[in-house]
């Protein structure tokens, strides 16, 4: 890691759109060191007035759906319209494999060399909560550096979509045609979260199947209640490799932005997300303080054992521990 | 409310299987009064060694699926086999309407008059968390009073099934045949939670449709990964009004119990549930203590406002509040 800059140097560099300073500030948000955390917090508070202006888009889909190619093509489309785009990722699997999504930069070579684009792989070695925090903060730093569209990639398994949904304005689900693929490996309930479904790889021999899947999803979505956003979730086909359907998808995103800006859903959703972020942070910090407390650490194993054996009521066990923790607080 | 008994009187009455004492003890678990809570905790700790021996079954399904009739018929079947059964409910809607599921006792008249059965409607006027806590504690009290099967009814909307799933050994989903009914109003992901699906109202003109739905669900479940329990989730048809298919359902439950007792899933699941109950209680108590703290109360509105306006980073806001709360702890 480079030597740190001063808070002022980071702030000025980011606001000037300097990619190197931006990168180094993002690295701070990924650090576990207390001094880096304090530095990151100060930078974030400084740039806060310059954040919030980007359109934040979450993109999910199972491995193999073609997310990287799709994001590269969508990103190129957006920069061709004169907008600066940043690509981030939340990838819980990066912890295990060491290789994250986006990690293989060659997969997005064209976009990586586009001066209007900034690509940052998912942080490795952090917990999912840590990655989420770092991605949220990185997003704000990218906004302060002048990026107008943020694409956040995730995989369609586990809790990561809920996290991405909670930090983006628009949530796009990429799918493949094919019996059962909709269910296998895909977290249930995810179609409900999506603002739009795109069936990818609608090309060649796969075209008919993709169009059939599109029709099936359109039918299925009629069964769901109308989204709060006021925007009726479209289901479309696209082919990232043939670059077809991409402009249409971007138009839908634009229309979503217009509709939700008019009906105030956009701003209300942002405010709600901020409050939830605060609430989640409070909960996380409370639990960290609790489970790190020396008295709790000393007692926890014995208490868990008594609970597991059925000797102590779980709620009574919790109360005992809480009494230890709170006695010096109130 | 009756005047309270002593902890010893409650304990002895419950262990002797006295229904009136059991009822009054359950009322204590529903109380918001601190003295009642302390009393309930003492009784629970006393009877704890006599709990855990019942088979705990959660039953869910959308309104109209025929849950009450089904539970009455299943309950009668169980008592006819010489087993004592208790019926409880978690019903978030009871708060609003005043009339809870199970509230209309006439709906289960036969079971209500069965000396081998005990029916207790969902508590009213409590939060969902409060109902969950009270139902968990009521379940233990019923077990101590000698009930060998606990049926916990809930409705297939909102968070209540997750709660019921987290406190039962077996989770039964009741469904109806009919296009789209599977999705409308039903929380997504619920089929994944179920250990068994029963298509009810498989009678008269509805029989063919019910059997078709059964086949469709059997096909769909093949797409899901094999359950951890080692028990392949059956999909069956039944008719509560014609009392058909009920014995078969009970046999499946028995087989689940055998299989999961042999492969240790049963006991491991119970232990996990106890630890999760403890962890949830810790989290809930931490948050209660936090948000009730006078310093936090004084600051919270202003902080939330600054966060909503985008003047303060949510995670920085959380840190500020946590510092107020924890400063006297460590």
Residues A286 and A174 in one domain: no
pLDDT of residue A183: 43
Residues B35 and B85 in one domain: no
- In this complex, the residue of B184, B223, B277 whose CB is nearest that of residue A315 is B277
For chain A, say whether B287 makes contact (Cβ under 8 Å): yes
Which among A61, A73, A58, A144 has a CA at the least distance from the CA of A110? A73
For chain A, say whether B290 makes contact (Cβ under 8 Å): yes
The answer to the question of residue A271 being in a domain is no
Q: What is the pLDDT along chain B (330 residues), one digit of tens a residue?
A: 567 899 999 999 999 999 999 999 999 999 989 899 999 999 999 999 999 999 999 999 877 788 989 999 999 999 999 999 999 988 765 443 434 455 554 568 889 999 999 999 877 777 778 888 899 999 999 999 999 999 999 876 667 888 899 999 999 999 888 644 444 334 456 777 889 999 999 999 889 989 988 888 787 777 667 788 999 889 999 999 999 999 999 999 999 999 999 999 999 999 999 999 999 999 999 999 999 999 999 999 999 999 999 999 999 999 999 999 987 544
Counting the structural domains of chain B, the total is: 3
For residue A3, the domain's CATH number is 1.20.5.170
DSSP string, B55-71: EEEEEE--TTS-HHHHH
pLDDT of residue B178: 66
Q: How far is CA A99 from CA A67, A68, A109, A124, A150, in A?
A: 16, 14, 17, 8, 22
Residues A213 and A304 in one domain: no
Nearest CA in chain B to A186: B224
Residues 128-167 of A with CB under 8 A from B: 133, 136-137, 140
Residues A204 and A299 in one domain: no
The answer to the question of residue B57 being in a domain is yes
The answer to the question of residue A273 being in a domain is no
The answer to the question of residue A145 being in a domain is yes
- In this complex, the residue of B313, B318, B328 whose CB is nearest that of residue A328 is B328
For chain B, say whether A267 makes contact (Cβ under 8 Å): no
pLDDT of residue A328: 55
Residues 70-89 of A with CB under 8 A from B: none
Chain B residues with CB under 8 Å of A41 CB are 313, 315-316, 319
For residue B97, the domain's CATH number is 3.40.50.300
The complex's ipTM works out to: 0.84
For residue B37, the domain's CATH number is 1.20.5
What DSSP element (H or E) covers B264? none
Chain A residues with CB under 8 Å of B166 CB are none
Whether residue A290 and residue B308 make contact (CB cut-off 8 A), yes or no, is: no
| Residue B186 distance to chain A (closest CA, Å) | 10
For chain A, say whether B286 makes contact (Cβ under 8 Å): yes
Residues A66 and A115 in one domain: yes
Residues A19 and A88 in one domain: no
pLDDT of residue B238: 96
The answer to the question of residue B100 being in a domain is yes
C-alpha B139/C-alpha B92 separation (Å) is: 18
Residues B289 and B228 in one domain: no
Domain boundary among A211, A237, A263: A263
C-alpha B303/C-alpha A13 separation (Å) is: 29
The answer to the question of residue B128 being in a domain is yes
Residues A240 and A120 in one domain: yes
Residues B72 and B153 in one domain: yes
Whether residue A44 and residue B133 make contact (CB cut-off 8 A), yes or no, is: no
The answer to the question of residue A268 being in a domain is no
| Residue B314 distance to chain A (closest CA, Å) | 4
Whether residue B326 and residue A328 make contact (CB cut-off 8 A), yes or no, is: no
What's the DSSP call for residue B239? Answer: B
What's the DSSP call for residue B49? Answer: G
Provide the terminal-to-terminal Cα distance of chain B, rounded to the nearest Å: 43
Per-residue pLDDT tens digits for A226-267: 788 999 889 999 999 999 999 999 999 999 999 999 999 999
Q: Classify each residue of B293-327 as buried b or exposed e, where b means 16 or more C-beta atoms within 10 Å of its C-beta.
A: beebeebbeebbebbbeeebbbbbbbbebbebbbe
Residues A108 and A23 in one domain: no
pLDDT of residue A2: 65
Residue A117 β-bridge partners:
A85
Q: Classify each residue of B2-24 as buried b or exposed e, where b means 16 or more C-beta atoms within 10 Å of its C-beta.
A: eeebebeebbebbeeebeebbbb
10-residue stretch averages of pLDDT, chain A, 330 residues long: 86 97 95 91 95 96 86 97 94 48 64 94 79 92 98 78 92 78 49 88 91 83 79 93 96 97 96 95 93 93 95 93 77
The answer to the question of residue B271 being in a domain is no
Domain extent for B286: 278-326
For chain A, say whether B53 makes contact (Cβ under 8 Å): no
Residues A303 and A172 in one domain: no
**Among A218, A282, A308, which would you mutate to test the B interface (most chain B Cβ atoms within 10 Å of its Cβ)?**
A282
Chain B residues with CB under 8 Å of A325 CB are 286, 329
Chain A residues with CB under 8 Å of B278 CB are 303-304, 307, 314-315, 317-318
Residues B140 and B194 in one domain: yes
Nearest CA in chain A to B274: A314
Provide the terminal-to-terminal Cα distance of chain A, rounded to the nearest Å: 42
C-alpha B1/C-alpha A321 separation (Å) is: 32
Per-residue pLDDT tens digits for A70-107: 999 999 999 999 999 999 988 765 443 434 455 554 56
């Amino acid at each position: 890691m480079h030597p740190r800059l001063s808070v002022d140097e980071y702030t000025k560099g980011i606001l000037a759109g300097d990619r190197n300073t931006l990168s180094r500030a993002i690295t701070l948000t990924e650090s576990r060191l207390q001094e880096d955390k304090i530095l990151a917090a100060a930078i974030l508070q400084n740039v806060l007035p310059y954040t919030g202006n980007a359109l934040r888009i979450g993109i999910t889909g199972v491995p193999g759906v073609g997310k990287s190619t799709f994001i590269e093509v969508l990103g190129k489309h957006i920069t061709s319209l004169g907008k600066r785009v940043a690509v981030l990722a939340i990838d819980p699997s990066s912890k295990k494999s060491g290789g994250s999504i986006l990690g293989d930069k060659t997969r997005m070579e064209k976009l990586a060399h586009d001066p209007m684009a900034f690509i940052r792989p998912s942080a490795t070695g952090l917990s999912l909560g840590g990655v989420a925090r770092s991605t949220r903060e990185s997003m704000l730093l990218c906004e302060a550096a002048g990026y107008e569209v943020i694409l956040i990639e995730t995989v369609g398994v586990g809790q990561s979509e809920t996290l991405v949904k909670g930090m983006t304005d628009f949530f796009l689900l990429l799918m493949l045609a094919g019996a059962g693929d909709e269910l296998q490996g895909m977290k249930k309930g995810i179609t409900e979260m999506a603002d739009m479904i795109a069936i990818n790889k609608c090309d060649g021999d796969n075209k008919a199947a993709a169009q059939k899947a599109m029709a099936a999803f359109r039918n299925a979505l009629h069964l769901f209640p109308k989204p709060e956003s006021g925007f009726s979730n479209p289901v479309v086909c696209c082919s990232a490799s043939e670059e077809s359907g991409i402009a249409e998808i971007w138009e839908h995103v634009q229309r979503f932005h217009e509709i939700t800006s008019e009906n105030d859903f956009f701003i209300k959703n942002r405010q709600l997300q901020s409050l939830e972020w605060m609430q989640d942070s409070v909960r996380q910090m409370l639990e960290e303080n609790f489970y790190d407390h020396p008295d709790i650490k000393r007692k926890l194993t014995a208490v868990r054992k008594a609970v597991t054996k059925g000797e102590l009521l779980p709620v009574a066990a919790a109360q005992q521990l809480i009494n230890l923790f709170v006695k010096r607080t109130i």
